[in-house]
Chains A and B, each alone.
Chain A
Amino acid sequence: MKTSFGQKFSEQRKLKGYTQEQISDKLNVSPQAVSKWENDLSYPDITLLKDISILLDISIDELLGSEKKVETKVVPVESRDVNKMLLKMIVLSSDGDKVKINLPIALLKAGLDMGITPKVSGNSSFDFSSIDFNQLIEMVENGVIGKLLEVESADGDIVEIYVE
């Protein structure tokens, strides 16, 4: 399902912890205008898109509903903070069910050290115990981020794992 501009804007604003009033102050527009954007009753002026993109830390493509393109990349050791990274698991089952899990890497690591591995129950036939999460953590610690894994099972279930 494609996310509308308003939904994406609202979601990202809340994620960044801004109120509609704070956004309106920063962009020099009325709070009513921001409310209308979020309800898809109107759209911001095209000249504001760049400022919105910087303020909400999201690309203009993503704001306008394009799917985020995640690539695998290696970042220098000094510019990454594992405590602020998330492991995102997305399971799209062939039945149409969607499961998205966001786990802080530090929490996952603590769990793995204790022998607890993430499990996703449901209709998906994918076996999560076949994923070596310790290996994934090691990759992240060595600076690999982005898309780490993409699997499509014979039943048509898709599993993707990202680190952001």
Chain B
Amino acid sequence: MRIIIQGHREEKKKAKISIPVPTFILSSRFILRKIAKKAQFENLTKENIKTISKEIRKAKKNFKKLLLVDVESNDGVKVKIYL
């Protein structure tokens, strides 16, 4: 996964930050359990976390470099998240 943040359009030198996030972190059941606990998703049982982890790996395989989220604010700040 990669998170790319681009700065304000009026900045002379647009800042561009690219943050690589290893997929194993995203599809790790341990991390997903922690996220579920933090976000208070009560329905996320061990079995559900296993399914989500599997689906993330499958999506990564089926859609190479999938652009998951593309946000552009009216002042030109862009945030892109690639799987």
Contacts and interface: CB of A to CB of B under 8 A. Distances in A.
B43, B44, B65, B71 — most chain A CB neighbours (10 Å): B71
A26 to B, nearest CB: 18
Interface in B56-79: 56, 58-59, 62-74
Contacts of B52: 107, 110-111, 114
Interface stretch (A29-37, A53-61, A93-101, A136-144): A93-101
Q: Is the interface of A mostly helix, strand, loop or mixed?
A: mixed
A104 B74 contact: no
A97 B63 contact: no
A76 interface: no
Interface string A3-38: 000000000001101000000000000000000000
Given A96-B74, A104-B63, A107-B56, A114 B68 contact: no
A114 B58 contact: no
Contacts of A84: 62-63
Given A86-B63, A114-B43, A115-B43, A101 B68 contact: yes
Contacts of B48: 110, 113-114
A98 B72 contact: yes
Nearest to B52: A110
Interface of B: 41, 43-44, 48, 51-52, 55-56, 58-59, 62-74
